[in-house]
Amino acid sequence: MPPSLPSITPALFAHCRPGFETDCASELMVAAAENGFTVAPAAERTDGYVALTLDSPQAATKVIEQIDFLKLAFTRQWFIAVAEIGDLPRDDRVEPLMEAFRTLGQPVHELFVETLDTDAARPLLRLCRSIEGHLRNRAQKEGLLAAKATPWRFHVCFTATDRAFVGLSPIANSHPCPMGIPRLRFPKDAPSRSALKLEEALTTLLPPYERNRWLKAGMTAVDLGAAPGGWTWVLVQNGLKVTAVDNGALAAQVAESPRVTHLHADGLRYRPPKPVDWLVCDIIEKPQLIADVVLRWARQGWCKNAVVNLKLPMKTRYPILAKLLPPLVQCCEIDHWAVKQLYHDRDEVTCFLRFERRSEPRKPH
């Protein structure tokens, strides 16, 4: 059972990339409606979050438990906002936050103190770190932060120095990092920063047990549009043998790897001589064209898993994604897919797709 929510009208609070608030709100409202819930439209925002009003605390709990977080492309992190606290005193911001914490009635297992991913909110990060230490100590002393695992997490999201949303998220159905931003360091040997994009995708879209099972040394992969080799490099670090397909040059540290075969060819027209374990693709092209390529690979049985980026047009991002996803998902094993606009993405989303096994995959021709 979740902690008791205060008897107020809660909101579904969702972090998103600044500029994508409308896409985030539209996607959440459609997902809620598909699950039988009605939410009030969000006010137009430009500050990296949306807040959708729900009918009741019970509806809020059901929404955030029933909608699969990994299938919401534009929501980086989310929680049930049970209150928005304003006029926090400069000399003691912790006590009003603790009072909100106490109203939940039972302990939680994790605590996040965060802010928004905007230039305006960036100065608040230092305040968040300071407040988190004090709030954590107080919560532990009062028994509100449990050492034993419970399924819920407490959030405090500062939108100004004296204002914060507070609420709850289910640990198993949300991002494991504050604001939905993992702490990844750029590896010194990686050929490009695109390596961080694939690493974030594998970390965010695959649960650890699935990554250990489906991404193992000795597996094979094809990287379409590989140059200069950031994604190929990540796969090689995981022990895979990679066919890197691109007319462009690979970075020396990638091209010289014994696990890499570089083919100078058009990635969109390439046909593998035999099926592989993984297809990855980060080609800058129209999203419909990329989706068609991935669909061909799926239907022909040329790969078991895929990680692919879809570059979305600015004015129709969510409608285009809503059109392209269903055919891809129909090729997947039940529920074995995920989509997110990652922190390292820009005007794009990253999809993980695990395709239905075929007893006799068709031979490429």
Span 120-154, pLDDT tens digits: 999 999 999 999 999 999 999 999 998 887 899 99
Angle at 117 between CA 284 and CA 173, to 5 degrees: 85
E-state strands within 34-92: 49-53, 77-85
- Burial code of 87-119, b = ≥16 C-beta within 10 A, e = fewer? ebeeeebbebbbebbebbeebbebbbbbbbbbe
Q: Confidence band (pLDDT; 50, 70, 90) for 360? A: very low
Which structure tokens are listed for 16? 């998103």
Confidence (pLDDT) at 359: 44
311 catalytic, yes or no? yes
Q: Check residue 149 and give its pLDDT.
A: 78
Q: Kindly name the residue from 197, 304, 311, 340 that is annotated as catalytic.
A: 311
Confidence check: pLDDT of 2 > 70: no
Query: Taking each helix axis from N to C terminus, what angle separates 230-237 and 194-205, rounded to the nearest 10 degrees?
Result: 50
Q: What is the pTM of this model?
A: 0.92
Buried b (16+ CB within 10 A) or exposed e, 222-244: bbbbbbbbbbbbbbbebebbbbb
Give mean pLDDT, residues 230-234. Answer: 97
What whole-number percentage of the chain has pLDDT above 70?
95
Average of per-residue pLDDT across 277-304: 97
For the stretch 29-79, pLDDT in tens is: 999 999 888 888 878 888 999 999 887 778 888 999 999 999 999 999 999
Write out the two tokens for 330. Answer: 């129909």
What does the pLDDT read at residue 38? Answer: 82
pLDDT for residue 335: 84
pLDDT at 362: 53
The structural domains of the chain, ordered by start, are 11-180 (3.30.2130.30), 194-355 (3.40.50.150)
